[in-house]
Structure 1
Amino acid sequence: MLRRTTRLGLLAALSLGLPLLAGPAWAGGNGRSVQDPPPASPSASGVEQSPVVGVPVLTAAQQRETARKDAEVARAFGQTGPNARSLAAVDDEPDLPSHKSLKSVKQKAQSRTYWCGPATLATLVQVDGTKISQTTAAKRLKTTRNGTNWYSGAGNYPMEKALEHYGDDVEYAAANLPYSPSKSDKETYKKRLVTDIAVHKQGIAGNAVEVTNGPHLNGHPNRTIYHWVAVRGYDDDGETTRYADPVSGSGISWQGPVDRYNEIDSDKIVTIFGARGYIW
């Protein structure tokens, strides 16, 4: 497995307007098929760069919230994993379904090249009937021409705060991932995914870092891309992730092959979230 040291900080985004390149080469596994890390400084504005201010950390309160949510996940899985899917300890719900989607979460095409974050927020808040414009979402997220920050320093994950602002007493948590997520990272994500969708009826905001010759989201060209997507469901007991991609229908030059709604191997999407993470 290729190894690299995670670089956190401002990373360069894709350059729009280039022709569609051949699909990325990825044969699975634990890491990414790249020789070098993505560039460490931005090369353009007006494209998503998912900036990171400082080194992402969780405050003591955020750590407690993560622990509380993970305890709910453990109860949902009977503390033994997907093969014991009893929800007896969680509101007497029926067994976890092997597949489920949040059908009220409808894809929103991003209005600007660097508004995948606002589009993702506007998509996910629909789960409880909330409707906001991408302009409102961008203001809440403090999105700039460099995109929506994954981390803004001092324990501030803008997407986490925004989802909690619009959620009805729903608590979210930020999950930071290394550049090459481990098997444990992937299994943890799958259990959180199933619990969030099937039990809590809430989606997940994923922050993708796609690198040349590494794994990419469905239909994305083989280049470096920073992107936000709205995870809205799962299949195969969490082995498959269902997500809405805001680039579809956006008018961005390479969006043509991208579907509004997609399914992807969960191990693969966790790898793609590496070096950023997800809000769950």
Structure 2
Amino acid sequence: MRSTLLALVVAAAAVAPVLAAPLASANPAGVEPADVHVQGEHVLQIDYQVQQTGYWCGPAATRIALSARGIYRTQAQLAAELGTTTNGTDWIGQVTRVLSGYVGWYETKEMPNDPPTQAQRDLLWRDVVLNIDNNYPIVANIVAPANNHPPGYPNYTIYHYFTVIGYNDSNMTVKIADPASFGGNQIYWLTFNQLATLIPPKGYSA
């Protein structure tokens, strides 16, 4: 189904845990509003939670993605299903396996080149638009060195998972639901260019 839909769209147009991540429960703000009607913008409704241990970014990001499909599991349940340990969730393919087990659709996309090739960047943007337009958030496995951090990250290399829940094609930005909540930054916008540079040499589920 996924490959057929992707073909139609084209025709028409592991890893370590977050180090010292904060421990918290659910976001007091709760649910992210759906489908804000701004020019070129599409944002999905999700149920956001902060990761509940320093090594549950994978389960938390997976939970956020599933919540957009109306599926709610605890982080502990998903950690068991993912095979997450105190060393984190080793590989993005573990996330893909769990997501696709619930809702189908998902495939693992590797981005081994750092910086990514233009073909990898083009595929990532196409996946962002295709996934969000069909109500399937993307879970990304990132490596963020000190010179390339999302907002609020501490000043060292962070190995992490977060969820892409929206995009704006008028300014090429993506909306992130970040379970780490570094500096209280939970849901925020990044440029697509920064997202593309954060994922290598890991990958994403889309």
Band of TM-score, shorter chain: 0.7 to 0.9
Question: What's 2:152 paired with?
Answer: 219
Would you say the 8 A contact 2:138–2:163 is kept in 1? yes
Residue 136 of structure 1 is matched in structure 2 by 77
Matches of 2:49 and 2:129, distance apart in 1: 23
How far did 1:166 drift? 1.8
Indicate the residue corresponding to 2:165 in structure 1: 232
What runs of 5+ residues in structure 1 fail to find an aligned partner? Answer: 1-64, 80-96, 152-156, 249-254
Q: Is 1:194–1:237's contact at 8 Å kept on the other side of the alignment?
A: no
- Residue 193 (str. 1) matches residue 140 (str. 2): no
C-alpha distance in structure 1 between counterparts of 2:170 and 2:128, whole Å: 10
Question: Structure 2, unaligned stretches of length 5 or more?
Answer: 14-38
| C-alpha distance in structure 1 between counterparts of 2:193 and 2:8, whole Å | 22
Deviation per residue, 1:91-110 (Å, 9 max, x gap): xxxxxx7210111x122100
* Alpha-carbon distance between aligned partners in 2 of 1:117 and 1:270, rounded to the nearest angstrom: 19
Pair 1:101 & 2:43 matched: yes
Letter in 1 for 2:81: R
8 Å CA contact 2:55–2:86 kept in 1: the answer is yes
1:167-178 superposed matches below 5 A: 167=103, 170-177=104-111, 178=113
Q: Is the 8 A contact 1:245 1:260 kept in 2?
A: yes
Structure-2-length-normalised TM-score: 0.81
Equivalent residue pairs, number: 180
Q: Match for residue 142 of structure 2?
A: 208
> AA paired with 1:218?
P
Aligned-residue CA RMSD (Å)? 1.9
* Aligned partner letter, 2:108: A
Q: Distance in 2 between matches of 1:216 and 1:73?
A: 32
Question: What is the match of residue 74 of structure 1?
Answer: 10
Per-residue deviation, 1:129: 1.2
CA distance in 1, matches of 2:136, 2:42: 12
Higher share of residues assigned helix: 2
Match of 1:161 in 2: 97
Asked if 1:260 is matched to 2:186, the reply is yes
Write the distance in 1 (CA, Å) between the matches of 2:170 and 2:81.
34
Give secondary structure in 1 for the equivalent of 2:114. Answer: coil
CA contact (8 A) 2:6 2:130 kept: no
Shift of 1:232: 0.6
With normalisation by structure 1, the TM-score equals 0.60
Instruction: Check conservation: 1:233, 1:242, Cα contact below 8 A.
Output: yes
Alpha carbons of structure 1 residues 116 and 226: separation in structure 2 relative to 1, 3 Å:
same
In structure 1, how many angstroms separate the alpha carbons of the residues matched to 2:2 and 2:200?
A: 18
Letter in 1 for 2:102: Y
Report if aligned partners of 1:218, 1:258 keep a CA contact under 8 Å in 2.
no
The 10-residue stretch of structure 1 (230-239 or 107-116) with the greater mean CA deviation from structure 2: 230-239
Could you tell me how far apart the structure 1 residues matched to 2:65 and 2:149 are?
Answer: 22
Using the TM superposition, give the Cα deviation of residue 238 of structure 1 relative to its aligned residue in structure 2, in angstroms. Answer: 7.3
Aligned-partner Cα distance in 2 for 1:245–1:188: 22
**Whose radius of gyration is greater, 1 or 2?**
1
